Amino acid sequence: MNKSTEQVIFEMLTANTGTHMLDSGGGNGRNWQRNQELTIDDFRNEPPATLNFYTQENDKGEIISAEPELSVSVFHKLTSGIIEQDELCREFNAMPCDNWDGEFYGTSNRQHQWLAVNGFLNNSENERRTWNTYNWDNQFSQVLQGTDLENDNGEQYVLIQIHGGADVRGGYTDAKLFKMSDHCEHYAVILDDCGFGIESPNDEQRDFITLDHRGGGEWIDNDGSLADDDIFIQFAKLAAGKPIAGDQFNDF
């Protein structure tokens, strides 16, 4: 049976990636353990992005500082349409991965041989395009690790692993192969840009203020300028301690 891309991502998010005595996940604190309690509809219904604020108040209970805390849903990112599966992907993803002895992270030697036979290893750039979102300022709900690939026909693919553990050094799923959708470049997979809006009532009208998050950790306000502390405080006051749901900005 051919699995949809959404189903493959869901299975990766809920896959048992193991435990280790030196892992900081304790009894049930790992990503995969928490995700075991969720259905695919739970992931579908979660916001594409969520904004909370860590606030400090003065003696009068007034917010005097607000630090944004952002989470960008990996499920929504990977099911947004930036990646898909063709027959090559389905064939690769159906292969068992009994041992991580392939050249790329999360692959077996048999899978590596399959990649070679199907024209993915003739481009020397493939060996140098491995990435991990933990290595820069990235706000995904879970860490992703991957390798950007190009086949002999110049078509763009990507191997993706999802971190299901607690300690980022281990606890990754087996790698799955996806094709980049038309007009999508590889960087679209790791882009965590997103935006939020909230109503700000006053005596005469209800204004709608926005905050956009851009790569590199920049926050942009309504006027297209870098957001300052006053905007964060204003958002935090209007949020009243509740999370704000936002949308992802995916580059198609």
From CA 39, how far away is CA 44, in angstroms rounded? 9
Kindly give the residue spans of alpha helices, DSSP state H, lying in the chain.
Answer: 5-14, 31-35, 40-45, 74-78, 87-93, 109-117, 229-239
Residue 35, C-beta contacts closer than 8 angstroms, at least 6 positions apart: 13, 14, 164
Q: Count other Cβ atoms within 10 Å, centred on residue 211.
A: 23
Using a CB cutoff of 8 Å and minimum separation of 24, what contacts does 198-203 make?
Answer: 198/235, 198/238, 198/239, 198/244, 199/238, 200/234, 200/238
Please give the model's pTM, rounded to 2 decimal places: 0.92
Element spanning 203, H or E: none
Q: For 251, phi and psi rounded to 5 degrees?
A: -90, 105
Pair 184, 80: CB distance under 8 Å: no
Model confidence pLDDT, tens digit, residues 143-166: 999 999 999 999 999 999 999 987
From CA 170, how far away is CA 132, in angstroms rounded? 12
Look-up of token digits 């892992």: 23
- Mean pLDDT of the chain, nearest integer: 91
Model confidence pLDDT, tens digit, residues 11-60: 999 999 887 655 665 556 788 899 999 999 999 999 999 999 999 999 99
From CA 42, how far away is CA 45, in angstroms rounded? 5
From CA 69, how far away is CA 91, in angstroms rounded? 39
Model confidence pLDDT, tens digit, residues 70-129: 999 999 999 999 999 999 999 999 999 999 999 999 999 999 999 999 999 866 555 558
Residue 188, C-beta contacts closer than 8 angstroms, at least 6 positions apart: 82, 180, 250, 251, 252
The 3-state DSSP class for residue 131 equals strand
Model confidence pLDDT, tens digit, residues 232-246: 999 999 999 999 999
Beta bridge partners of 172: 163
Q: For 204, phi and psi rounded to 5 degrees?
A: -105, -30
From CA 34, how far away is CA 20, in angstroms rounded? 16
Q: What percent of the chain is predicted at pLDDT more than 90? A: 77
